[in-house]
Amino acid sequence: MASSKPFPLLPLSLLLLSLSLLPSLTLSSNIHDLLQSRGLPPGLLPKQIKSYTLSESGLLEVYLDEPCFAKIENRLHFETVIRANLSYGGLTGVAGLSQEELFLWLPVKDIIVDDPNSGLILFDIGLARKQFSVSLFEDPPDCKPQGVFLKNMRKTMRGFGAQR
């Protein structure tokens, strides 16, 4: 009868052991670490992430306080919610992200790193596929609200007019 006490510890020990064996990606504390663990650069999403969810099916939903703009090589526009299917080396079926191309805003459909050794990342914008250096996305960019973005754009346009 003295051996009945250790048994309540056995289920607790099994639970703790199973939690320690879970992949670290499910326990990732920030979205940028999650992207890196999936073979993507952390700078694909801005610093100003409020929260995110990742379903078992791989649907990633990223939430920002407000829509904003960031400049990498081209300008990017992030909606308040960005959705995509996350797999190793890719974000497919992207919604809520647009890229400026020749004064047009085109929705980004997929972001793919086919070969990590190539140092290239592919943005599918529907009409075209653009390749960028992965190094451009090493650090999460600052994202500015629309008002700040438009104010900076007007300054640039005034400077352009003065050069004529």
Residue whose tokens read 């793919």: 112
pLDDT on residue 103: 85
- Of 91, 25, 27, 40, nearest to 62 (Cα)? 91
- What is the enclosing helix (H) or strand (E) of 14? helix 9-21
What domains appear along the chain, each with residue ranges and CATH number? 30-161 (2.30.240)
pLDDT on residue 126: 85
pLDDT tens track, the chain, 164 positions:
555 555 454 444 444 444 443 443 333 469 999 999 999 999 999 999 999 999 999 999 999 999 999 998 889 999 999 999 999 999 999 999 999 988 899 999 999 998 888 999 999 998 889 999 999 999 999 999 976 555 555 555 455 454 44
Q: Is the pTM of this model over 0.75?
A: no
pLDDT on residue 42: 96
Residue whose tokens read 């999936």: 38
pLDDT on residue 152: 53
Torsion angle (degrees, nearest 10) of CA 34, 30, 60, 82: -120
